[in-house]
């Protein structure tokens, strides 16, 4: 009889929660594997035993982290104690870099094998983290082809596993309902939603005055109470607040979109919906980010394509006036729309480098020797 393998997964954000759930569901039929996890809605719907509900642990910014620091510290200590009590055969850390790197260091000190899935983006910012990564991570699973070369040069065992959004091919389903909403995707973290909804409300107001027949969609994160959205859009007949477990169902309802920077931008691009990107941070966070970030782009679409295809509106530039100009072109200028949709065709090509690729589930199987 095969020995039971215990795996801990740590996912602190909505995208990581989705990727973690995919892994757990893949191995769910193997009775010799038991998962424990820090995760939110999607992981809670798997067979994993939940250690921490991470629904309210996802924030961006220095001040925002300070506000929830006691909660983060408690969660980190609980995860450390779980490592000691469970003695896992493997810990899989998914994104959520600051928290998970601390957990990696502790797991390594306890002799636990550490797999980091969706690597810290040291190629984009804070390259000083290299030594910490090399010392505390056994195996790196990266989702962009260029990342493998970067980590290989550092001498770290690295596997390109393909981007999970492209690997799943969920965006290719042909049964999605089509509609004509202008879509607004304010984010999955509560602090970014609070920052972005006021701007989005102004944009809708301006567009509505010029195009009174247009209808608008606000994508709701499952991790955030609907009251926050209703505070801005209650009783608006031309605005629909939508929450779908499958985000592609929401995207398919849109003819154009504006989205907070994050995984959602790539999901919208893969669905070939013209989009522009906004992001607003606290002034202090933005100041430090400018000092630390060395990449030219913040949108995953632009990062993958290595060009400014979709417009990015950051901080002071993220005004309703600026964004409305672009959103009108994305919605009503057919030549402009067609050019963006055509360029989206390269996204899959860039992310499907089969010559380098290892499947993430096959990699886990190999590590566990099952």
pLDDT digits (tens, 9 = 90+) for 268-317: 999 999 999 998 765 555 444 554 455 677 888 998 898 999 999 987 78
Domain range for 324 is 171-351
Q: What confidence score (pLDDT) does residue 287 get?
A: 46
If asked whether residues 66 and 188 sit together in one domain, one would say no
| 271 within 8 A of 251, measured Cβ to Cβ | yes
If asked whether residues 323 and 239 sit together in one domain, one would say yes
If asked whether residues 145 and 281 sit together in one domain, one would say no
How are strands ordered across the β-sheet holding 216-219?
A: 239-242, 216-219, 181-185, 254-260, 275-279, 312-314
If asked whether residues 347 and 362 sit together in one domain, one would say no
3-state secondary structure of 276: strand
Please work out, in degrees rounded to the nearest 5, the angle formed at the alpha carbon of residue 332 by the alpha carbons of 328 and 334. 130
If asked whether residues 135 and 158 sit together in one domain, one would say yes
Torsion, Cα 346 26 133 79, to 10 degrees, reads: 140
If asked whether residues 14 and 151 sit together in one domain, one would say yes
Low-confidence ranges of the chain (pLDDT < 50): 1, 124-125, 286-288, 291-292
Q: How far apart are CA 105 and CA 137, in angstroms?
A: 8
If asked whether residues 49 and 119 sit together in one domain, one would say yes
If asked whether residues 364 and 347 sit together in one domain, one would say no
pLDDT digits (tens, 9 = 90+) for 66-118: 778 799 999 999 999 999 999 999 999 998 888 999 999 999 999 999 999 99
If asked whether residues 276 and 343 sit together in one domain, one would say yes
If asked whether residues 114 and 140 sit together in one domain, one would say yes
How are strands ordered across the β-sheet holding 5-11?
A: 49-53, 33-39, 5-11, 90-94, 114-117, 139-142, 158-160
CATH number of the structural domain spanning residue 277: 3.40.50.2000
3-state secondary structure of 329: helix
Q: What confidence score (pLDDT) does residue 292 get?
A: 47
Q: What confidence score (pLDDT) does residue 323 get?
A: 96
Classify residue 162 as left (phi > 0), alpha (psi -120 to 50) or beta. Answer: left
Residue labelled with tokens 């492209």: 166
Nearest to 197 by CA among 163, 162, 167, 227: 227
If asked whether residues 129 and 206 sit together in one domain, one would say no
Number of domains in the chain: 2
Q: What confidence score (pLDDT) does residue 286 get?
A: 45
3-state secondary structure of 176: coil
If asked whether residues 157 and 179 sit together in one domain, one would say no
């Amino acid at each position: 009889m095969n020995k039971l393998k215990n795996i801990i997964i740590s996912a602190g954000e909505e995208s990581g929660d989705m990727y973690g759930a995919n892994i757990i569901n893949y191995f769910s039929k193997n009775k010799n594997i038991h998962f424990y996890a820090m995760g939110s809605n999607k992981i809670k719907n798997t067979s994993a035993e939940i250690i921490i509900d991470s629904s309210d642990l996802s924030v961006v910014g220095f001040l925002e982290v300070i506000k929830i620091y006691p909660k983060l510290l408690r969660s980190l200590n609980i995860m450390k104690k779980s490592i000691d009590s469970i003695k896992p055969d493997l810990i899989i850390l998914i994104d959520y870099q600051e928290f998970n790197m601390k957990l990696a260091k502790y797991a390594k000190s306890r002799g636990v094998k550490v797999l980091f899935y969706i690597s810290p983006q040291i190629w984009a910012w804070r390259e000083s983290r290299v030594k910490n990564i090399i010392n505390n991570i056994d195996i790196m699973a990266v989702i962009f082809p260029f990342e493998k070369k970067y980590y290989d040069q550092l001498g770290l065992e690295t596997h390109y596993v393909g981007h999970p959004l492209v690997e799943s091919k969920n965006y290719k389903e042909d049964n999605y309902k089509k509609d004509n909403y202008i879509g607004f995707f304010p984010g999955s973290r509560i602090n970014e939603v609070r920052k972005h909804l006021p701007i989005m409300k102004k944009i809708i107001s301006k567009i509505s005055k010029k195009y009174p027949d247009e209808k608008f969609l606000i994508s709701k994160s499952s991790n955030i109470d609907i009251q926050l959205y209703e505070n801005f859009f209650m009783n608006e007949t031309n605005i629909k607040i939508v929450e779908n477990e499958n985000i592609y169902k929401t995207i398919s309802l849109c003819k154009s979109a504006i989205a907070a920077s994050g995984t959602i931008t790539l999901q919208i691009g893969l669905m070939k919906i013209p989009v522009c990107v906004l992001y607003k941070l606290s002034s202090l966070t933005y100041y430090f980010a400018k000092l630390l970030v060395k990449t030219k782009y913040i949108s995953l679409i632009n990062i993958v394509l290595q060009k400014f295809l979709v417009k990015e509106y950051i901080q002071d530039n993220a005004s309703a006036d600026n964004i409305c100009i672009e959103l009108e072109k994305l919605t009503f200028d057919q030549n402009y729309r067609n050019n963006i949709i055509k360029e989206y065709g390269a996204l899959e090509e860039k992310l499907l480098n089969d010559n380098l690729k290892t499947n993430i589930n096959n990699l886990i199987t190999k590590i566990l020797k099952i």
